[in-house]
Chains A and B, each alone.
Chain A
Amino acid sequence: QQQVKQSPQSLIVQKGGISIINCAYENTAFDYFPWYQQFPGKGPALLIAIRPDVSEKKEGRFTISFNKSAKQFSLHIMDSQPGDSATYFCAASKGEAGTALIFGKGTTLSVSS
């Protein structure tokens, strides 16, 4: 049973465009939702995270939108740049940040120049 579903599997966006990646979760006990960025041959790096008590969080060009009733959250990358080309993973966990994470399957983003 896949607890965190991520889409699309791959995404191509033009430089300057908006990249949108979506995730849906099933377990209502999840209350911490981070997004990670991973480059080939490297470990994931935390981009931004949100908790269910807010509907949106913005950090620079990255924004998380959260819909608790729909059990969905999404990552928006504004003004996408070629350097943003990477694989992005959504994740979820219960309790405080730092507990065991359940990852989505990942989205490979390619930003064309």
Chain B
Amino acid sequence: GAVVSQHPSRVICKSGTSVKIECRSLDFQATTMFWYRQFPKQSLMLMATSNEGSKATYEQGVEKDKFLINHASLTLSTLTVTSAHPEDSSFYICSAKLPMSNQPQHFGDGTRLSIL
């Protein structure tokens, strides 16, 4: 149980395009999802907290107009990297929190984004 699915697993696109990454909780409803960014051999850095039906909360230094987050349903959050550039290339990982209190986050398998 508690499976989180991310799609796509890998995407390569040209500079200037926008890329959408989906994060789905497959067998539970997630009122809260988190988006992290991980550079090669680096730690996970929290980008934003996504709450269903409300605006995402972004961490300091994360451009909300650059990284658009939509959490339109209890099982789906999307991250759109707008007008992507090579410096946006990274491993993006989402996680979802079970609705019951005091339950840990469950992570997706990440999306490798490469901008040419």
Contact = CB atoms under 8 A, between A and B. Distances in A.
Interface of A: 34, 36, 41-46, 49, 89, 96-106, 108
Chain B CB within 10 A, most for which of A42, A43, A44 = A43
Interface in B78-97: 93, 95, 97
Nearest to B99: A98
Main secondary structure on chain B at its contact with chain A?
Answer: strand
B13 interface: no
Interface residues of B, number: 26
Given A41-B110, A44-B93, A101 B43 contact: no
Given A97-B102, A101-B105, A44 B44 contact: yes
A89 B108 CA distance: 16
B50 to A, nearest CB: 11
**Residue among B44, B45, B108, B109 facing the most chain A CB atoms (10 A cut-off):** B44
B35 to A, nearest CB: 11
B102 A98 contact: yes
B107 interface: yes
Interface hub of B41, B42, B98 (most chain A Cβ within 10 A):
B41
A96 B49 contact: no
B67 interface: no
A44 B42 contact: no
B1 interface: no
Interface string B14-50: 0000000000000000001010000001111110010
Given A98-B98, A105-B42, A43 B108 contact: yes
Contacts of A97: 102-105
B112 interface: yes
B101 interface: yes
